[in-house]
Amino acid sequence: MSSPLSLPVSRPSQKSGKAGPNKSRKILIVKTGFSEVLDMGISTTVSLGDVLACTSLLHLFKDDEVTWVTSWAARQLLLDNPWIAKLLIFGTDALREISGQSFDILVNLEKDNGLCTFLNHVQAKERFGFYFSDEIHDIVTFKRSTRYLLVGQENQKGLNKNSYEVLYETVGQQWQGQAAILPRRMRRPEKFDIGFNHAVGTKWPTKAWPMERWKQLEKLLKKDFSVSWQQGFQDLSLYMDWIDSCRLIVTSDSLGQVVAHAFGKKVITLYGSTNYKRMERVPHIRVIPSGSKCAFMPCYLPVCKNDKFCMDEISAQRVADECREFLSP
């Protein structure tokens, strides 16, 4: 098991406090982003959107003492969260610290064999998420109902639940509309009606809507709305500032939709190679799935196998109409 730089970051916990028998519990959440809750793969590329989405669980632990283990790359999304009492950066020091404690609840949302095996030995009264089974020598889930999470997303085409419903089901709870939590010390004033979150990460380039379509969309909207193109792709702080400056974000299935949703923005997400059901029934998010008849869709492939690219099947006019309706008084 690799051990990147470990840097514990601790702040006073801001809680209302509980008295008597309802005293606060010690919670350990492990979410680094090297794997995704809805995907079986392990990657060296951190899924920032998946880490941020998992902060929705903090609504369940507002009055508790939460320790969260994450990756260095994802730390900026969690640093100012008032419901995280201690933030630990994944590595030797962090693992040593949690191994010397006992917790009331341990939530492991990572699927790495080494990490799951290690967490088997951390003391906890109640466990959720993933663990390594000595019986079958593989990763399993504590909840039988969520064992489908151990297959790839391409094998979950029939799953009729959004990401937050699945996340809450993993810890034995029912999602009731709770969003991800991304506090900011200073919110930015809204300067633009619509933001084009056009760039995507390297893991799934097939999520991208063709640039030609973005340019067509701009022509259709610019007479009536102020439009801003994505900023801060290589600078997370600048990126979040830019999203905060827009009323509505048009985006692919990426970090941008989770950040915008956490900020309370209106979001339109374009789906093709990934499953649009992941964000259905999420407040303030409208999904536009591709109308492609591709038999592989959603394929979760980095390179398209089909003659016609599914994202190209989403017309600029369709997106423009959705923007107008969403922003109408």
**CATH code where residue 280 lies:** 3.40.50.2000
**Do residue 225 and residue 99 come from a single domain?**
no
pLDDT value of residue 144: 63
The total of structural domains in the chain comes to 2
**Do residue 278 and residue 204 come from a single domain?**
yes
Token digits of residue 154: 């391409």
- Residues of the domain holding 196: 192-327
Burial class (CB in 10 A: 0-12, 13-18, 19+), 223: exposed
CATH number at residue 13: 3.40.50
**Do residue 20 and residue 124 come from a single domain?**
yes
Question: One-letter amino acid identity for 21?
Answer: P
pLDDT above 70: residue 11: no
Average pLDDT of span 268-290: 93
pLDDT above 60: residue 137: yes
Average pLDDT of span 50-55: 95
What distance in Å separates the CA atoms of residue 238 and residue 157, rounded to the nearest whole number? 35
pLDDT in tens, 70-81: 999 999 999 989
pLDDT above 80: residue 21: no
What distance in Å separates the CA atoms of residue 276 and residue 318, rounded to the nearest whole number? 16
What distance in Å separates the CA atoms of residue 142 and residue 263, rounded to the nearest whole number? 32
Domain final residue, candidates 117, 136, 170? 170
What distance in Å separates the CA atoms of residue 184 and residue 129, rounded to the nearest whole number? 29
pLDDT above 60: residue 173: yes
Average pLDDT of span 251-275: 94
**Do residue 162 and residue 237 come from a single domain?**
no
**Do residue 19 and residue 166 come from a single domain?**
yes
Beta bridge partners of 9: 87
**Do residue 162 and residue 204 come from a single domain?**
no
Contact in structure between 133 and 140 (CB atoms under 8 Å): yes
pLDDT value of residue 152: 53
186 in a structural domain: no
| 93 band by pLDDT with thresholds 50, 70 and 90 | very high
Give 113 or 196, the one with higher predicted confidence.
196
What distance in Å separates the CA atoms of residue 176 and residue 59, rounded to the nearest whole number? 10
**Do residue 20 and residue 160 come from a single domain?**
yes
Q: Which of 123-137, 189-203, 212-226, 303-317 has the highest mean pLDDT?
A: 212-226
- Mean pLDDT, the chain, as a whole number? 86
Question: One-letter amino acid identity for 259?
Answer: V
Average pLDDT of span 98-114: 92
177 in a structural domain: no
What distance in Å separates the CA atoms of residue 127 and residue 123, rounded to the nearest whole number? 10
**Do residue 247 and residue 298 come from a single domain?**
yes
pLDDT in tens, 200-251: 887 788 999 999 999 999 999 999 999 999 999 889 999 999 999 999 999 9
Average pLDDT of span 175-190: 88
pLDDT value of residue 183: 87
**Do residue 256 and residue 152 come from a single domain?**
no
pLDDT above 90: residue 154: no
**Do residue 207 and residue 159 come from a single domain?**
no
What distance in Å separates the CA atoms of residue 266 and residue 8, rounded to the nearest whole number? 35
pLDDT above 50: residue 88: yes
